[in-house]
Amino acid sequence: MKNKQNTKNGNWFNQVILDVLVTCLVVISTFWMPPLLRYLLYGYSGLLLLMRVVTLFNNGLGTPVIKKARQQVPDWFYHVNYFICTAILFITMEYVLGGMWAAIWLLSWISTLKSSRTATSAGKG
């Protein structure tokens, strides 16, 4: 019963544990970058970039799930998280990974603008 109330009241941290973990791995990569960590970062970054492209161009496929998740997790969290990852990767001269994260951040921002326009136009109609 208590868990249901926490979810309804905006306990969104459970939804972003993976994002926080990946950000911690990016911070760790500043000091120590074994090949396995490099492969994990490239794999996750590629999948996240692909997901952002699909989300941007999906034209309503899966929209209820995405909107539900976005309502619970504030948009600022993703922007701060993507900024931290992008900045760290560029500072450590991981330009390909940094470019991927900059693209992820840009696509996320565009998706946020697109969904806010859709919500605004749906509210007026």
Measured in degrees and rounded to the nearest 5, phi and psi for residue 32 equal: -155, 115
Burial of 17 (0-12, 13-18, 19+ CB in 10 A): exposed
- Give residue-wise pLDDT tens across range 20-46: 999 999 999 989 989 999 999 999 999
Q: For the chain, which residues make up each domain, given as ranges?
A: 12-115
**Residue 117's pLDDT is what?**
76
Please tell me the distance from the alpha carbon of residue 94 to that of residue 27, in angstroms, as a whole number: 12
- Give residue-wise pLDDT tens across range 65-108: 555 544 578 888 999 999 999 999 999 999 999 999 999 999 99
Q: At what angle do helices 17-31 and 35-57 cross, to 10 degrees?
A: 140
